[in-house]
C-alpha cells in the first residue's frame, strides 16, 4: 500500500501547495514523523554499535594462533566480525578444527553443527540503549524492520531486546561439503538454495569397556523393572570399575534426582555426579546437562537448574537436536514453577 498512498499524498500536496505553505497548521504531521524517523535511525545506529562491540570483544577474547573464530549471522555483525578477523561459516567448504570457536547470534538462522562436535562455553549479552525496537522480541512486543520473521511490525516504541550470542568450542573436526540444490541456476547468477547441510565429522563415544557397557545395560533393565535400589547398586558397581565414566555418572545422577521413590532421591549427590559427567564430556552432551539441571532442582537450587536447562537447550539447538530442545522447554517450565522432574522421564543416556 505504501507506494500507492505516497502517490496520492504527493498529488494532493501538488493540488494544494500554495494553501499548504500558507497554512502552517498543515505542517504539524511532519514533527512526529521526523521524531519517529530520527528514533529509527538512532535505534539502527545503536544496534550496529552493539554488533561492533560484540564482534570486537569476542574476537579479542577467543582468537588465538592456530585457531579460528567462526561466526554465524549477517548484517552489521558479519561486517565487524570479518573486520576483526572472524570467518563466516560456509556450508560448502568450511573446515572446523578442534580448538576453534563458533559464535552464534541467538536471533536469526544459523548452520547447525554435528551433535557432540562442539561444547558449550558461554552466552554473552549486549544491551543496546534505545527507545525504539527494530529487531527481535522485547517485553513490549516484537519488531522486524530487517525481517518479517522477527516481528509483525517494522518497529515499535520500546527498548531494543538484549542481543545474545552463544559461544561454543569445537572438539571434533568438521568438514562441510554441502552442494546447492540449484547448481544450474547458480551458474546463471541466482542465489544458491540449500535443502540439507552435509558434512564429514569425527564422533566420540562414551560407552567405555564392554564390561561397563554390560553393567549399564543391566542397571537400565533393573530400573525399567522398578528395582530402583538394585539399579543404583549396579551403577555403583560400574563406577568402581571406572569412576570417571560419563554414562555411568549421568545415569546414576538421573536416578538419584528423579527416582519414583522419594526416599531414594539424593539431590546433592546427584549434582556432584552429573557435574562430573558434564565436565568429562566438555559440555558437549545436552542430555547430560539436562541431568545436571534436574539434579539442581532436586537439591532445591532452581536458579542453577534453570541456567543449566537453558544451556542444554542452546547447545541442543546449535547441534540440530530440536526434539530434545523441545523437551528441555518443558523442564524449564517445571523449574520456573519450583517443581522437580518426575520419574516419568526415562533415563537420558546417549545411544
Instruction: Give per-residue pLDDT as tens, 40-95.
Output: 999 999 989 999 999 999 999 999 989 999 999 888 999 999 999 999 999 999 99
In this structure, the answer to whether residues 72 and 194 fall within a common structural domain is yes
In this structure, the answer to whether residues 326 and 179 fall within a common structural domain is no
In this structure, the answer to whether residues 136 and 231 fall within a common structural domain is no
* CA angle, 83 then 89 then 91, to 5°: 150
Question: Environment class of residue 337 by beta-carbon count within 10 Å: exposed (0-12), middle (13-18) or buried (19+)?
Answer: exposed
Q: What is the mean pLDDT of residues 303-323?
A: 95
In this structure, the answer to whether residues 80 and 214 fall within a common structural domain is no
In this structure, the answer to whether residues 62 and 107 fall within a common structural domain is yes
In this structure, the answer to whether residues 149 and 272 fall within a common structural domain is no
The structure's pTM equals 0.83
In this structure, the answer to whether residues 195 and 214 fall within a common structural domain is no
In this structure, the answer to whether residues 182 and 285 fall within a common structural domain is no
pLDDT at 348 over 70: no
Give the pLDDT band of residue 19 (cuts 50, 70, 90).
Answer: low
Please, are residues 329 and 313 in contact by the beta-carbon 8 Å criterion?
yes
Q: What is the mean pLDDT of residues 268-281?
A: 96
> How far is the C-alpha of 143 from the C-alpha of 150, rounded, in Å?
6
In terms of pLDDT, which residue wins out, 296 or 144? 296
Q: Any idea which of 73-82, 163-172, 339-348 has the lowest mean pLDDT?
A: 339-348
- Assess if residue 195 is contained within a domain: yes
Write down the residue that cell numbers 505504501 correspond to. Answer: 2
To the nearest 10°, the Cα dihedral for 249, 328, 198, 67? -60
Where does a domain end: 178, 201, 224?
A: 201
In this structure, the answer to whether residues 115 and 235 fall within a common structural domain is no
- Assess if residue 116 is contained within a domain: yes
In this structure, the answer to whether residues 184 and 217 fall within a common structural domain is no
Q: Return the pLDDT at 271.
A: 97
Q: Return the pLDDT at 251.
A: 93
pLDDT at 347 over 50: no
Domain that holds residue 327: 210-336
- Assess if residue 348 is contained within a domain: no
- Assess if residue 3 is contained within a domain: no
Task: Identify the three-state secondary structure at position 65.
Answer: coil
pLDDT-above-70 percentage for the chain:
93
In this structure, the answer to whether residues 194 and 228 fall within a common structural domain is no
Where does a domain end: 184, 201, 218?
A: 201
Find the CATH number of the domain harbouring 243: 1.25.40.10
In terms of pLDDT, which residue wins out, 204 or 235? 235
> How far is the C-alpha of 273 from the C-alpha of 269, rounded, in Å?
6
Where does a domain end: 163, 183, 201?
A: 201
- Assess if residue 189 is contained within a domain: yes
Q: How many domains does the chain have?
A: 2
Question: Environment class of residue 113 by beta-carbon count within 10 Å: exposed (0-12), middle (13-18) or buried (19+)?
Answer: buried
Q: Any idea which of 6-20, 126-140, 267-281, 317-331 has the lowest mean pLDDT?
A: 6-20
- Assess if residue 158 is contained within a domain: yes
- Assess if residue 346 is contained within a domain: no
In this structure, the answer to whether residues 186 and 223 fall within a common structural domain is no
- Assess if residue 345 is contained within a domain: no
275-298, pLDDT tens digit by residue?
Answer: 999 999 999 999 999 999 999 999
What's the gap between Cα 12 and its chain centre? 51
Amino acid at each position: 500500500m505504501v507506494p500507492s498512498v505516497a502517490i496520492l499524498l504527493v498529488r494532493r500536496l501538488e493540488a494544494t501547495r500554495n494553501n499548504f505553505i500558507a497554512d502552517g497548521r498543515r505542517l504539524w504531521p511532519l514533527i512526529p514523523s521526523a521524531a519517529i524517523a530520527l528514533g529509527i535511525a538512532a535505534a539502527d545506529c545503536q544496534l550496529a554499535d552493539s554488533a561492533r562491540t560484540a564482534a570486537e570483544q569476542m574476537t579479542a577474547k577467543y582468537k588465538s594462533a592456530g585457531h579460528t573464530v567462526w561466526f554465524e549471522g549477517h548484517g552489521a555483525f558479519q561486517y565487524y566480525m570479518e573486520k576483526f578477523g572472524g570467518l563466516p561459516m560456509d556450508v560448502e567448504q568450511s573446515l572446523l578444527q578442534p580448538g576453534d570457536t563458533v559464535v552464534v547470534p541467538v536471533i536469526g538462522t544459523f548452520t547447525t553443527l554435528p551433535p557432540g562436535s562442539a561444547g558449550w562455553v558461554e552466552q554473552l549479552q549486549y544491551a543496546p540503549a534505545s527507545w525504539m525496537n527494530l529487531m527481535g522480541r522485547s517485553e513490549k512486543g516484537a519488531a522486524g524492520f530487517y525481517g518479517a520473521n522477527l516481528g509483525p511490525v517494522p518497529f515499535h516504541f520500546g527498548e531494543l531486546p538484549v542481543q545474545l550470542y552463544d559461544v561454543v568450542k569445537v572438539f571434533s573436526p568438521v568438514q562441510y561439503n554441502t552442494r546447492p540444490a540449484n547448481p544450474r541456476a547458480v551458474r546463471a547468477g541466482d542465489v544458491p538454495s540449500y535443502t540439507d547441510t552435509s558434512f564429514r565429522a569425527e564422533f566420540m563415544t562414551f560407552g567405555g569397556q564392554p564390561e561397563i557397557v554390560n553393567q549399564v545395560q543391566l542397571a537400565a533393565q533393573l530400573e525399567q523393572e522398578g528395582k530402583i535400589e538394585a539399579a543404583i547398586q549396579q551403577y555403583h558397581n560400574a563406577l568402581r570399575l571406572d569412576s570417571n565414566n560419563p554414562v555411568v555418572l549421568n545415569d546414576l545422577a538421573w536416578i538419584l534426582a528423579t527416582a519414583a521413590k522419594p526416599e531414594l532421591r539424593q539431590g546433592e549427590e546427584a549434582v556432584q555426579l552429573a557435574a562430573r559427567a558434564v565436565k568429562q564430556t566438555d559440555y558437549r552432551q545436552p542430555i547430560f546437562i539436562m541431568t545436571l539441571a534436574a539434579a539442581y532442582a532436586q537439591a532445591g537450587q532452581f536458579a542453577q537448574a534453570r541456567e543449566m536447562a537453558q544451556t542444554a537447550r542452546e547447545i541442543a539447538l546449535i547441534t540440530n537436536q530440536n526434539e530434545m530442545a523441545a523437551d528441555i522447554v518443558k523442564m524449564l517450565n517445571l523449574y520456573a514453577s519450583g517443581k522437580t522432574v518426575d520419574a516419568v522421564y526415562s533415563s537420558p543416556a546417549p545411544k
